[in-house]
Structure 1
Amino acid sequence: MSDRPNKGELLAAAEETLRDEVLPALEGSAKYAALMVAAAIATARREIETGHDAARRTLDAYAELYGHDNVHRSGGTADERINALSRDLAHEIRAGTYDADLLGPVFGVLETQVVERLGLSNPRFLTSSGYSQPGAE
């Protein structure tokens, strides 16, 4: 059984149709709304294409900070673990835990999260800024 077109291909087709056929016919607030929809479709498509790679890179960065066992015990799904670990790290930063050493693994975690989020929302910024990101356009 073939799953063609797949989710990513369907989103790519919808994005292309919206940008190439619908947007040129719109003006004003309707055009702005359609641009936001196209951007949301593009982000969703990149999330699907990236799969678990972005979460894996983020969890690896947390493992550098907290150790693999603590990362594994922090939640169920990768997203749940990342959310729990992010809350813990934010609390620790506010408490001053890392004031003397923000450039070590803490910086690695924060940089990884920013790069992963930009890779989904604005990959062109990453490439124009000299960051390398798997899957970045």
Structure 2
Amino acid sequence: MRDRPGGAELLAEARRLLREELVPTLAGAQRYQALMIANALGMAERELLAGERPLEAERAALSRLLSREGSLAALSATLAAALRDGRLAGDPEAYVLLLEETRSRLAESNPRALEEG
């Protein structure tokens, strides 16, 4: 067992301090850069908390859709090729997979975008 605070908690606290205490003292480009750093810390925190689950879920979904096994990178490349050449045109399962993957990625990178839609 790791000591507390853990990595995600440290990132959350660093982000809080940056946003609440440092950003208000900055202006212009420095303020923008600090906010970008705060957003990156939030993304890293969410990725750390999620662990490998989203990647394994994506690999499993691709494997089902494509009826083959492989690494996430290999299955993603196969999906891209199938989309480019039209093999999955109009395929409702492919559509659902792409939509779910977009939502999953947004949950880590920009969760507020999901609230707006």
Superposed pair shares fold, TM > 0.5: yes
Pairwise CA distance, 1:96:
1.5
Task: Tell me what 2:102 maps to.
Answer: 114
Aligned: 1:30 with 2:30: yes
CA distance in 1, matches of 2:80, 2:60: 18
Q: Deviations over 1:19-38 (max 9, x none)?
A: 01100000000000000000
Aligned: 1:93 with 2:73: no
Deviates more, 1:118-127 or 1:22-31: 118-127
Task: Tell me what 1:102 maps to.
Answer: 91
Q: Deviations over 1:82-109 (max 9, x none)?
A: x22111111111111122x332x21122
Which structure 2 segments of 5+ residues have no match?
A: none
Aligned residues: 117
CA distance in 2, matches of 1:84, 1:2: 34
Task: Tell me what 1:42 maps to.
Answer: 42
- Equivalent positions of 1:54-65 (< 5 A) are 54-65=54-65
CA contact (8 A) 2:63 2:75 kept: no
CA contact (8 A) 2:19 2:38 kept: yes
- Which amino acid letter does the alignment assign opposite residue 48 of structure 2? I
Q: Deviations over 1:95-125 (max 9, x none)?
A: 11122x332x211221122111101111122
Pairwise CA distance, 1:54:
1.4
Task: Tell me what 1:123 maps to.
Answer: 111
CA distance in 2, matches of 1:84, 1:119: 24
CA contact (8 A) 2:66 2:79 kept: no
TM-score by length of 1: 0.77
User: Aligned-residue CA RMSD in angstroms?
Assistant: 1.6
Which structure 1 segments of 5+ residues have no match?
A: 76-80, 130-137
CA distance in 2, matches of 1:97, 1:4: 50
